[in-house]
Amino acid sequence: MTTGFPFVPAPVQARILIVDDDVATIRVLAQVVQSQGDVVFATGGADALAAARAERPDLVLLDAEMEGMDGFQTCAALRTLPGMGDVPILFVTSHRGVEAEVRALAAGAVDFITKPFHPHIVEARVRTHLTLKQRTDALLRMATLDGLTGIANRRALDTGLAHELRRLTQPGASPLSLVLADVDHFKRYNDFYGHQAGDDCLRAVAGALAGSVRRAGDLAARFGGEEFAILLPGADADAARTVAEKLRRTVVSLALPHAARPDADLVTISAGAATLPPSPGGDVDALLVSLVAAADQALYRAKADGRNRVAVAGRDAG
């Protein structure tokens, strides 16, 4: 059944990070919140940052008074990590003054629990903030997923492109590749089989697309209509060709009949790939236009050369 919104899966078990240099306090807090998620712990700020980098938590319980890197410094540092901007951080501290609470909120905390704490209060606040985060995550998924295919939408692609192009202009950056793919003779398919079958076809191609990207940071998205895109941070032209070819072969292996096309009898795709080298100090807007135009021209060439093939900008003859 096709709906106007993507299916939003039930949230997985929450991951709760407890940060305190007192092991006894960690044990007590872990007992209080263990029914609400998987509990991990750190006994200092550096350990907390390492744990958050290894696997992003869904909520952090953070002690304010710790040796070395205190809770305020740890909170501010956690907020700078990728994906940690919306993770609720709750301070657990013996400070009761307004000044400490304001300082905690300024560092990025969302709540403030004073010691000695009551277990039921901690449990209730953790439950409340986890529920709010799950709802926020669900809304974010709905805002960034394509309603028909369930993969990332154009908005998510544009956001990812902007982020990666900014990275490309920084010292020490790696290449950035973009693959644009288009379902061959899709209008003929839609006219012959009907729009419901056309939607099923797009969902099948989107599934193949999602299965073709495996690295963290890669993004498979619907570009618009029957056109799709794959964003490949750190991938050079050879790697981009490999991914595009894998996608093309996967779509062929779906063996979806296409009796209305004049040149074959199965659904296929054509793909164009383009790569930008690191461009320290470059103009992001100009780089965006260059990358998308190069991938689009390569896609046009793949179609002009017979479809069901991959062309790479700067690599294949025009």
DSSP string over 137-161: HHHHHHHHB-TTTSSB-HHHHHHHH
Q: Is the pLDDT of residue 318 over 50?
A: no
Domain end: 86, 119, 144, which one? 144
Residue 2, φ and ψ in degrees, nearest 5: -100, 130
Provide the mean pLDDT of the chain.
89
Same domain, yes or no: 205 and 301: yes
Which has the closest alpha carbon to 147: 301, 290, 4, 269? 4
Domain shared by 159 and 301, yes or no:
yes
CA dihedral 122, 128, 134, 138 (to 10 degrees): -170
Q: Does residue 8 register a pLDDT over 50?
A: no
Within-domain flag for 2: no
Residue 82 belongs to a domain with what CATH number?
A: 3.40.50.2300
Q: What pTM does this model have?
A: 0.65
Mark whether 275 and 179 lie in a shared domain. yes
* CATH number of 267's domain: 3.30.70.270
Domain boundary among 86, 109, 144: 144
Going by pLDDT thresholds of 50, 70 and 90, the confidence category of residue 98 is confident
> Is the Cα dihedral 26, 29, 30, 36 positive or negative?
negative
Q: List beta partners, residue 176.
A: 233, 276
Contact 149, 23 (CB under 8 A): no
Please check whether residue 42 is in contact with residue 60, taking contact to mean a CB–CB distance below 8 angstroms: no
Distance CA 204, CA 31 (A): 45
Q: Which residue has the higher pLDDT, 80 or 300?
A: 300
CA angle 194, 152, 14 (to 5 degrees): 125
Question: Amino acid identity of 58?
Answer: D
Structural domain contains residue 6: no
Q: What is the pLDDT of residues 164-184, one digit of tens each?
A: 999 999 998 899 999 999 999
Domain end (from 144, 179, 197): 144
**Strand-pair partners of 222:** 228
* Residue 21 in domain: yes
33/102 same-domain check: yes
Position 100 scores a pLDDT of 77
pLDDT at 12: 56
Specify the pLDDT at position 317.
Answer: 54
* Statement: residue 75 has pLDDT above 70: yes
Band (pLDDT 50/70/90 cuts) for residue 2 is very low
Average pLDDT (230-257) is 96
Domain count, the chain: 2
Confirm whether 149 is domain-assigned: no
74 shares its domain with 138 = yes
Which one of the listed residues 65, 67, 226, 227 is annotated catalytic? 226
| pLDDT of 5 strictly over 80 | no
- 211 and 175 assigned to the same domain: yes
Cα separation, 242 vs 235, in Å, equals 10
Question: Has residue 318 been placed in a domain?
Answer: no
For residue 171, give every residue at least 6 positions away whose Cβ sits within 8 Å of its Cβ, in sequence order, or none.
Answer: 280
Q: Which amino acid, one-letter code, is at 229?
A: A
Q: Is residue 1 part of a domain?
A: no
The continuous run of DSSP H or E covering 185 comes out as none
Q: Are 59 and 37 in contact (CB under 8 A)?
A: yes
With 90 as the cut, is the pLDDT of residue 286 above it?
A: yes
Q: Model confidence at 106, in pLDDT bands (50, 70, 90)?
A: confident
Residue 288, beta-bridge partner list:
none
Query: Tell me, what's the pLDDT at 9?
Result: 39
Question: If pLDDT is split at 50, 70 and 90, which confidence band does 162 have?
Answer: very high
Q: How far is CA 142 from CA 5, 13, 138, 163, 229, in A?
A: 7, 20, 6, 20, 19
Provide the percentage of residues in the chain whose pLDDT is more than 90.
68
Is 227 labeled as catalytic in the residue annotation? no
Looking at the structure, do residues 210 and 290 belong to the same domain, yes or no?
Answer: yes
Same domain, 137 and 192: no
291 assigned to some structural domain: yes
- On whether both 105 and 244 belong to a single domain, the answer is no
Nearest to 83 by CA among 4, 28, 15, 7: 15
Peptide bond into 88 cis (omega under 30): no
| pLDDT for res 215 | 80
Q: What is the mean pLDDT of residues 211-218?
A: 82
Q: Is the pLDDT of residue 20 over 60?
A: yes
Q: What are phi and psi of 43, to 5 degrees?
A: -105, 15
39 and 166, same structural domain? no
Are 219 and 256 in the same domain?
A: yes
Q: Summarize the confidence of residues 240-268 as an average pLDDT.
A: 96
Based on the fold, state whether residues 174 and 279 are members of the same structural domain: yes
- How far apart CA 66 and CA 74 sit, in angstroms, is 10
Q: What is the mean pLDDT of residues 213-233?
A: 91
Domain span at residue 205 reads 154-312
Does 7 map to a domain?
A: no
Arithmetic mean of pLDDT, 186-203: 96
pLDDT score at 3:
32
